[in-house]
Structure 1
Amino acid sequence: MELTFLFVEWLGKPAWMWLGFLGIVIALLTFDLGVLHRDNREIEVKESLLLSSLYISLGLAFGGLVWWQLGPEPAMNYVTGFVVEKTLALDNVFVIALIFSFFAVPRLYQHRVLFWGILGVIVLRAIMIGVGATLVAQFSWLLYIFAAFLIVTGIKMLVMKDAEPDLANNPLIRFMRRRLNVTDEHYGEKFFIRKAHPDTGKMTLFITPLFMALVLVEVADVIFAVDSVPAIFAITTDPFIVYTSNIFAILGLRALYFALAAMIHRFRYLKPALAIVLIFIGSKVFVADLLGLEKFPAALSLGLTFAIIATGVVWSLVKSRTEIERVA
C-alpha cells in the first residue's frame, strides 16, 4: 500500500504531522465524552482541576514532540502561544459563565454545551488560521497590522473598564427569539424539541435554551479569536504551530471551566498582566525590525511572557487572599 501521501506537504508540514495531531485530538474528545462523561453529571472543582492538569500536561508534552521533530525555536513558539491562548481563555470563561447564568443552564448539562462548543471551535479556528496563514504568506505587511492591533488592544485593556455584556438586549438572542420557534423551558440535554405550536396546534420543531447557549458560546469564541489569532501570528507564522497551540489550549478550557467559574474573582490582576503581554507581543515585531533581527529571540519571548503572566497570577492570589482575610 502506497503511503507517499503521508509525506506530502500541507501548509508547510508533512500530512502525517497534521493527521497525527488530529488523531490525538479525536482520541482525547472520544475519551472525554465516551468514557469520562458518558452520562450527564455535574463536574466538581476537584475533578475539573485534575482534568485541567491532564490537558495542560498533554499540551506541554506535545510541545516536547514539536521540539523533537522541528527543533527548539518552534517548540518555544508553541509553548508561548499555548500560554497566551490559555490566559486569553480566562476572559472566555467569564463570558461563558454569564451565558449559562442567563439561560439558567443546569450544571448537569453545562459540560454537553462546552463539548459541542469545542468541536465548533476546532473547525472555526482551523478556518480562521488557514485564511490568516494564506494572507500573511501573500501579504507579509499584515503582520505589522496584527502587531499594531495587539498593541492598541492591550492599551485599551489597561485603561478601560470592562462592561458586563447585556445579554438581555443581545441582538443575536433577539433575532433567534423573533425568527425561530424558541421554548423557554429546558428539556434535559436536548437542543431541539418537537411539540405542539401554541398558535396552530401542529407539531413544530423548537430550539431550547441549551441550544441558544451553545450558539452564544460559539459566537463568543469567534469574538475572542479576534485577539488570540493575531497574537499567535505575531509569535510565529507557522500554521502548524499556530493551530496546534490554539487547539491544545482550548481543549483544556472545557475541563478548566468548572474550577475557574468558581474562583474567577480571585484573578483580578491577571487581565492587566495579559494586556501587558499583548503589548509586548505586538511590540516585539517592530523591535525586531529596529534591531535588524530576522526574528525576536523565541527563548526571550517565552521567558518574558511567562514571567508577566506568572506575576499577574501570583499578585492576584496574594491580593485576593489578603482581602478575604481582612473581611474575615
Structure 2
Amino acid sequence: MSHELLFFGGFIIFIILMLAIDLGLFAKGDKPISLKSAAIMSGIWVMFALAFGLVLYFWGNELHDVHDIARLKEIVAKHYHNIQVNESDLAGAIKAYNSNLTIEYLTGYVVEYALSVDNIFVMVLLFSSFGIPEKYYHKVLVWGIIGAIVLRCIFIFLGAALIAKFGWILYVFGAFLVYTGISMYINRNKEEEVDPQNHPVVKFASKYFKVTPKLDSGRFFHIENGVRYMTPLFLVLLVIEFTDLIFAVDSIPAIFSVTKDPYIVFFSNIFAVLGLRSMFFLLVNIIHKFHYLKVGLAFLLIFIGAKMLLHSQLEAIGFKTVHSLIVIISILVISVIASLVFPKKENLAN
C-alpha cells in the first residue's frame, strides 16, 4: 500500500505543479486564449501523458510493489490483466506486466480524450447560451477542471470498489455503454439546445441562492448593498460541473472496459481531463467541421460496451488490449477523415 500511496502522491504533486505552470502561461488577465498558446499547451499535455506511459513501461511494477512472482500473480488476478505469467522468468514476466500496463493506460487515455471532444461540443453551446464573453472562458474552465478532477477521483475509486465486490456490474456498465452509443447515433443529427432559464441546475441555484444577470467584470459573485449574488459566470461553472458529472457516467465505465486497475484508470482519465482545457481553445472554432465525430464516438461506445459484455469470449480468441487500442484509434481516424473528405452541404455552399 505504501508504494501505491507514494506513486499516487508523486502523481498528484506533479499534476499540481503542471497546473500552476499551465495557469501561469494561460491566466494572464481576462483575455481570449490564442490558437498558438492553446496548441503549445495541448502539445505539452500530450507529451507529458506519453512520458508517463514510459514511466509505467519501465517502472510500472513499482506501483503495486511487484518484485516477485507471487505478488505479480496476485495483482494480475486482482485487476484481471490479460497476460500470461511465466513463473520461470521473473524479469520477463515483470516486463510483460509493465508493457500491458502501459498499453492499458494509453488505451484508456485515448478513449477518455476522444470522449472529451463531445464535452467540448456541449461547453461551446453552454458558453454561447449563457452569453459568456470569450475572454472569461479560461477562468471558468480552470475551476471546472479542478472540480472535475475531484469528482472523477471519487467516481473512479468508488467504481473500482463496486467492481471488486460485484463483478457482474461490468455487464451493467457494458449494456449501459451500448445503449448510450446507440442513442448517440440515433440523435447524431439532432440540434442540441440549452435554455439557461429552465436548466435544472439554474433552477436549483435560483431557488436557494440569489442570482444576478450582471457579469461584474468576470467575477463569480457580485455584491450589492451587502448582499452576495451569483453571476452568470458561476452559474455556467455549476452547469459545466453537472455536465461533466453526466459525461463521467459514460467515460469512466468505458475506461474500466480497458483496465480494472483504479490507479491506471485515474492516471489516464486525469491526463485527458487536464488536456481538455487547452484542447477546447484549440478546437472551439473548428469543432463544427468534424461532423462525423459524433458517429465515431457512438461506434466507440458501442464497441467498448460490447467488449465488456463479451470480454470472456474475446479473451478466449486472443483479443488483447492492444487490439482494442487499434480498433479505437481506427474508429476515430476514420470519423475525422470522413468529416474532412465529406464536409456538410452547407459548408460546400459557402
2:41 pairs with 51, 57, 65, which one?
A: 51
Q: CA deviation at 1:327?
A: 2.4
Q: 2:185–2:298: 8 Å Cα contact kept in structure 1? A: yes
Which segment is superposed worse, 63-72 or 84-93? Answer: 63-72
Q: Determine if the alignment matches structure 1 residue 170 to structure 2 residue 199.
A: yes
1:100 pairs with 94, 118, 127, which one?
A: 127
Q: CA deviation at 1:248?
A: 0.4
Distance in 1, Cα, partners of 2:290 & 2:53: 26
CA gap of 1:287–1:176, structure 2 versus 1, over 3 A, is closer
Q: State the Cα deviation string for residues 121-173 of structure 1 (Å, max 9, x = none).
A: 01000011111010101111111111111111112222234441332321221
Root-mean-square deviation over aligned CA pairs: 1.9
Secondary structure of residue in 2 paired with 1:167:
coil
2:2 pairs with 8, 25, 38, which one?
A: 8
Distance in 2, Cα, partners of 1:172 & 1:36: 28
Distance in 1, Cα, partners of 2:315 & 2:162: 24
For 2:156, the equivalent position in structure 1 comes to 129
Q: 1:109–1:188: 8 Å Cα contact kept in structure 2? A: no
For 1:200, the equivalent position in structure 2 comes to none
Q: 2:201–2:238: 8 Å Cα contact kept in structure 1? A: no
For 1:235, the equivalent position in structure 2 comes to 258
Q: State the Cα deviation string for residues 170-207 of structure 1 (Å, max 9, x = none).
A: 122122223321111111131112112xxxxxx21111
Distance in 2, Cα, partners of 1:123 & 1:313: 31
Distance in 2, Cα, partners of 1:51 & 1:35: 9
Distance in 2, Cα, partners of 1:91 & 1:292: 30
Q: State the Cα deviation string for residues 65-120 of structure 1 (Å, max 9, x = none).
A: 12222211111111111111111111111111121112221211110100011110
Q: 2:175–2:309: 8 Å Cα contact kept in structure 1? A: no
Q: 1:288–1:294: 8 Å Cα contact kept in structure 2? A: no
CA gap of 1:35–1:90, structure 2 versus 1, over 3 A, is closer
Q: CA deviation at 1:212?
A: 0.5
- With normalisation by structure 2, the TM-score equals 0.84
Sequence identity (%): 40
CA gap of 1:322–1:136, structure 2 versus 1, over 3 A, is same
Distance in 2, Cα, partners of 1:294 & 1:86: 28
Q: Determine if the alignment matches structure 1 residue 308 to structure 2 residue 331.
A: yes
CA gap of 1:327–1:22, structure 2 versus 1, over 3 A, is same
CA gap of 1:34–1:291, structure 2 versus 1, over 3 A, is closer
The runs of 5 or more residues in structure 2 that have no matched partner are 61-97
Q: 1:183–1:209: 8 Å Cα contact kept in structure 2? A: yes
For 1:76, the equivalent position in structure 2 comes to 103
CA gap of 1:248–1:292, structure 2 versus 1, over 3 A, is closer
For 2:143, the equivalent position in structure 1 comes to 116
Distance in 2, Cα, partners of 1:95 & 1:213: 12
Distance in 1, Cα, partners of 2:36 & 2:346: 24
- With normalisation by structure 1, the TM-score equals 0.89
Distance in 1, Cα, partners of 2:238 & 2:26: 24
Secondary structure of residue in 1 paired with 2:215:
coil
Distance in 2, Cα, partners of 1:276 & 1:158: 8
2:15 pairs with 25, 29, 32, which one?
A: 25
Distance in 2, Cα, partners of 1:288 & 1:223: 25
Distance in 1, Cα, partners of 2:118 & 2:329: 18
Distance in 2, Cα, partners of 1:163 & 1:107: 22
Secondary structure of residue in 2 paired with 1:96:
helix
CA gap of 1:24–1:209, structure 2 versus 1, over 3 A, is same
Matched to 1:78, the amino acid is Y
For 1:268, the equivalent position in structure 2 comes to 291
The runs of 5 or more residues in structure 1 that have no matched partner are 1-6, 197-202
Secondary structure of residue in 1 paired with 2:217:
coil
Distance in 2, Cα, partners of 1:92 & 1:148: 22
2:228 pairs with 179, 185, 205, which one?
A: 205
CA gap of 1:263–1:131, structure 2 versus 1, over 3 A, is same
For 2:64, the equivalent position in structure 1 comes to none
Distance in 2, Cα, partners of 1:296 & 1:194: 59
1:142 pairs with 158, 169, 175, which one?
A: 169
Q: 2:171–2:308: 8 Å Cα contact kept in structure 1? A: yes
